[in-house]
Amino acid sequence: MSPAEGGGRDDATVGELLRPDLRGSTPYGAPQLDVPVALNTNENAYAVPQVVVDAVVEAVAGVAQELNRYPDREFTRLRRMLASYLTTVTGVAVGEAQVWAGNGSNEVLLHLLQAFGGPGRRALGFTPAYSMHPVITRTVGTQWVDGLRGVQGQGEFDLDADSAVRQVLQHDPQLVFLCSPNNPTGTAVGLDVVEAVYEAAPRALVVVDEAYAEFARPGTPSALTLLEGRERLVVTRTMSKAFALAGTRLGYLAAAPAVTDALRLVRMPYHLSAPTQAIACAALDHVDALLATVEQIKAQRDRIVDELTELGFRPVPSDANFVLFGGVADETALWTALLDHGVLVRDVGLRHHLRVTAGTPEETGTFLAALRALTPTHLQEQPA
């Protein structure tokens, strides 16, 4: 065998070349199965309204001829429109210099980690929370610390200011993640928790992931209302959920201009394609049409909570477009049985729990009917 064929040499395997801290990791893998009722990734169940489809087609046609050129690296129009949307819905004046966007809020989170994390630094989150927070954190060699949720005498997944502060002081992180409404539990955290964490961690960037904010129950304020005067606070959002545009891949954040300036150091040039920018802007021209389904989805979410309670399961109160429910005898067995009925839900790795996205009334009805049929065998026995 010649040296070119590897003879006589001790070539490394790809596994050996892989960064040691990534060895043995598993990639993100929510199943993408072709099923009649997919309620597993918290997408908006409704198709994009025709008025938005028409606007998107026109907008993409408008940029098609110029695809020989790089897009606006600063996505100026999009930033302006996102700032205006946030200002309108929250009543907080958000300027375009405060807005950043990426290909999904996952990429926005990656930019934050690239700029503010890195080897030798630590990020703290409160588990169970969004499973990608630790994954994204580790991709840049940052250490992830699993904080805990659960408040004595309250919900097992609640997070209160005292507990959060205690954990922040114990771990002294450079980044803290709060997810509100929290995935997979569905509940929002109080702004008192955000404020207390910010005060307790004067040397940390505090990131509030508000991917599901538009579904929150009335009276749930956004952490955007806390941005003023807090340079280390970041609020991330997405067009993947309430806006029904998961396929577009557009997430964004609002923070102090110093934060968005830092993100310019790590993003790839022209990271938002011209079609992505055009689609997002066209959609933002039709916010009311796009968000028209939010109330219907919230009604289905509340219907799930009510009916699961009646069946004897333990749904967690939700401010999102999904419901986590406990009281499941064996979550893998019920997940499989629901799939046999054509309904895909999410096993989030929590014993005796599954998570289901609120769908259209028909989809939700199919899920509830299947669950009703399966309940006798799959309900966890209540402690005496």
214 touches ligand PMP (CB under 6 A): no
Q: Write down the least CB distance from residue 109 to ligand PMP, Å.
A: 7
357 touches ligand PMP (CB under 6 A): no
Q: Which of 40, 90, 98, 106 binds ligand PMP (CB under 6 A)?
A: 106
Site for ligand PMP in 123-142 (CB under 6 A): 130
Instruction: With beta carbons less than 8 A apart as the criterion, state whether 239 and 245 touch.
Output: yes
Q: How far apart, in whole angstroms, are the C-alpha atoms of residue 147 and residue 137?
A: 14
Nearer to ligand PMP, 194 or 370 (CB): 194
Q: How far apart, in whole angstroms, are the C-alpha atoms of residue 280 and residue 106?
A: 16
Candidate ranges 3-11, 104-112, 143-151, 347-355; the one touching ligand PMP (CB under 6 A): 104-112
Partner residues linked to 178 by β-bridges? 208
Nearer to ligand PMP, 158 or 378 (CB): 158
Q: Write down the least CB distance from residue 280 to ligand PMP, Å.
A: 12
Q: Write down the least CB distance from residue 207 to ligand PMP, Å.
A: 10
**Secondary structure class of 114 (helix, strand, coil):** helix
Residue with CB nearest ligand PMP?
Answer: 104
254: left (phi over 0), alpha (psi -120 to 50) or beta: beta
Per-position x/- string for 155-184, each x denoting binding to ligand PMP as judged by CB under 6 A, each - no binding: ------------------------x---x-
- Tell me how far CA of residue 153 lies from CA of 16, 159, 230, 270, 334, in angstroms: 49, 12, 32, 50, 29
Q: Write down the least CB distance from residue 251 to ligand PMP, Å.
A: 4
371: left (phi over 0), alpha (psi -120 to 50) or beta: alpha
What do you get for the CA distance between the two ends of the chain, in Å? Answer: 72
Nearer to ligand PMP, 40 or 260 (CB): 40
Nearer to ligand PMP, 106 or 364 (CB): 106
ω before 257 within 30° of 0 (cis)?
A: no
Candidate ranges 119-127, 218-226, 238-246, 261-269; the one touching ligand PMP (CB under 6 A): 238-246
- List the structure tokens of 182: 């929290």
Nearer to ligand PMP, 90 or 183 (CB): 183
Q: Write down the least CB distance from residue 106 to ligand PMP, Å.
A: 4
Instruction: With beta carbons less than 8 A apart as the criterion, state whether 144 and 137 touch.
Output: yes
Site for ligand PMP in 25-44 (CB under 6 A): 42
Q: Who contacts 357 (Cβ-Cβ below 8 Å, separation ≥6)? A: 39, 40, 41, 42, 43, 45, 321, 322, 345, 346
- Tell me how far CA of residue 248 lies from CA of 103, 240, 318, in angstroms: 8, 8, 26
Q: Which of 104, 186, 315, 326 binds ligand PMP (CB under 6 A)?
A: 104
Nearer to ligand PMP, 248 or 380 (CB): 248
Instruction: With beta carbons less than 8 A apart as the criterion, state whether 305 and 136 touch.
Output: no
Q: How far apart, in whole angstroms, are the C-alpha atoms of residue 134 and residue 144?
A: 6
Candidate ranges 98-106, 163-171, 310-318, 334-342; the one touching ligand PMP (CB under 6 A): 98-106
Nearest to 348 by CA among 177, 159, 131: 131
246 touches ligand PMP (CB under 6 A): yes
Candidate ranges 10-18, 101-109, 167-175, 224-232; the one touching ligand PMP (CB under 6 A): 101-109
98 touches ligand PMP (CB under 6 A): no
Candidate ranges 100-108, 114-122, 161-169, 253-261; the one touching ligand PMP (CB under 6 A): 100-108
Q: How far apart, in whole angstroms, are the C-alpha atoms of residue 144 and residue 136?
A: 10
- List residues near ligand PMP by CB under 6 A: 42, 104-106, 130, 179, 183, 209, 211, 238, 240, 246, 251
